């Protein structure tokens, strides 16, 4: 799976002022809502927060993979956000998080959801890719870092 098949350049946001887990999830839902105009922001945010209540999506090494399922979504989409400073996210290694790679998937495509998460985790496990993401100064550089 190619990351850029699910990630639009308008869905990347570099070096934001994230102050909390809640604020980052709100920001992700705002970005997604601009791209998914038929699905309201509250529904997107609810999907992400419901998943977080089951357990943190902070996978360690400063990375979180927030994700949610949406009933009215047709295709998987991704939103990538980096924060200027790492924030507490209850990650499995207890380290703060500064790279957020969120995905929203159609409710009826659970198997695709798991495959997409695995592909993203593999991509983010690449130290060169992760370094380029963390050093990106613009949204465009962040998008290109995932090439």
- Catalytic (active-site) positions: 67
Q: Which residues contact 109 (CB under 8 A, 6 or more apart)?
A: 76
Dihedral through CA 57, CA 134, CA 137, CA 21, nearest 10? 30
Which among 76, 64, 78, 66 is positioned nearest to 110, based on CA atoms? 76
Q: How many residues does this entry show for the chain?
A: 147
Q: Which residues of the chain form beta strands (DSSP E)?
A: 7-16, 58-60, 63-64, 67-70, 77-87, 97-106
Q: Which residues contact 41 (CB under 8 A, 6 or more apart)?
A: 29, 30, 32, 33
């Amino acid at each position: 799976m190619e990351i850029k098949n699910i990630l639009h350049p308008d869905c990347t946001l570099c070096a934001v002022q994230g102050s909390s887990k809640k604020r980052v999830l709100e920001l992700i839902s705002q970005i997604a809502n601009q791209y998914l105009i038929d699905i309201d922001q509250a529904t997107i945010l609810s999907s992400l927060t419901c998943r977080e209540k089951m357990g943190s999506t902070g996978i360690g090494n400063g990375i979180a993979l927030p994700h949610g399922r949406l009933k009215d979504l047709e295709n998987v989409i991704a939103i990538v956000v980096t924060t200027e400073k790492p924030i507490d996210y209850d990650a499995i290694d207890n380290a703060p998080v500064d790279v957020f790679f969120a995905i929203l998937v159609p409710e009826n495509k659970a198997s695709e959801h798991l495959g997409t998460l695995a592909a993203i985790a593999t991509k983010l496990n690449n130290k060169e890719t992760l370094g380029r993401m963390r050093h990106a100064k613009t949204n465009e550089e962040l998008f290109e870092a995932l090439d």
